[in-house]
Copies of this chain bind each other. A is one copy, B any other.
Amino acid sequence: MVSYPKSGGPIRRTIPEGDNLERLVCDACGYIHYDNPKIVVGAVAESLGRILLCRRAIEPRKGYWTIPAGYLELNESPEEGALREAREEANAALRLTGLLAVYNVTRISQVQLIYRAALVSEDVSAGEESEEVGLFATEDIPWRDLAFPSVRWALNHFSEAKDINIFSPFGNPIGETGNFDPKSTTGV
C-alpha cells in the first residue's frame, strides 16, 4: 500500500541505526518511514458443520483457498476487522464466538488474530477479492489448495476446539514459522 510518485520517492535501503534493518527512506526529502508489524484479522466461520472458504482473486496465491482475513485498518477493533473482511470477501454476516488463535509470521512481521464464528446465514457470495466462495465439510476442505500455512493451522485448531467452549487461543504449531514456499504446489 505504498504510492510511488512519478519521480523521486521512497527507496528501501539500510540506514545506520545500529540494528541493520532496512527502512524506506525518501531520497527527495530524507523522510524515514519506520515500518511496524502488521495485524491480520480473520475468522473460521461455520454453519451446520461446514466452513466458509474463499478462493483468492488477487495475488499473492491467487486461485487458492483461504478463510476470510486481511489487514486490520486504522481505528478498527480486531473484531470489527474480522467481520468486515468476511463481509468484503464473502458477503457473509458472522457472529464471532471467541478468539481461536494468535499466530505470528515473524519473517514478514505479521501477527494474526483469528476468531471463530458462526455464519448468521448461508447466503454468501464472492466479493471483489474472491473468485468464488464455498461452504466445506471438513472432509471436503481443499487441503492441497490452501493459500497459506496459517489457513491450515486455523482449520485444524478450529476442529480441535470444536466442542470446547473455553480455551486459551492456539499459537503457531511447534516448529512452524508460517513461511510459505512459493515453489510448493500445495502452498502449505
Please give, as numbers and ranges, the residues of chain B lying within 8 Å of A107 by CB-CB distance: 75
Q: Determine the residue in chain B with the shortest Cβ distance to A3.
A: B32
Determine whether the beta carbon of A36 is less than 8 Å from that of B33.
no
Would you give the shortest CB distance from A177 to chain B, in whole angstroms? 10
Determine whether the beta carbon of A39 is less than 8 Å from that of B1.
no
Would you give the shortest CB distance from A4 to chain B, in whole angstroms? 8
Q: Contacts A166-B167, A167-B168, A168-B99 known; A111 to B72 CB distance under 8 Å? A: yes
- The answer for the CA separation of A29 and B24 in the assembled complex, in Å, is 13
Residue in B29, B77, B106 whose CB lies within 8 Å of A26? B29
A98 within 8 Å of B by Cβ?
yes
A27-B29, A76-B106, A166-B167 given; 10 more Cβ-contact pairs under 8 Å:
A10-B31, A21-B75, A26-B29, A26-B31, A31-B31, A33-B33, A37-B76, A75-B109, A99-B169, A166-B166
Question: Contact residues of A with B, CB < 8 Å?
Answer: 1-5, 7-10, 21, 26-39, 71-78, 98-99, 102, 104, 106-107, 109, 111, 113, 166-169
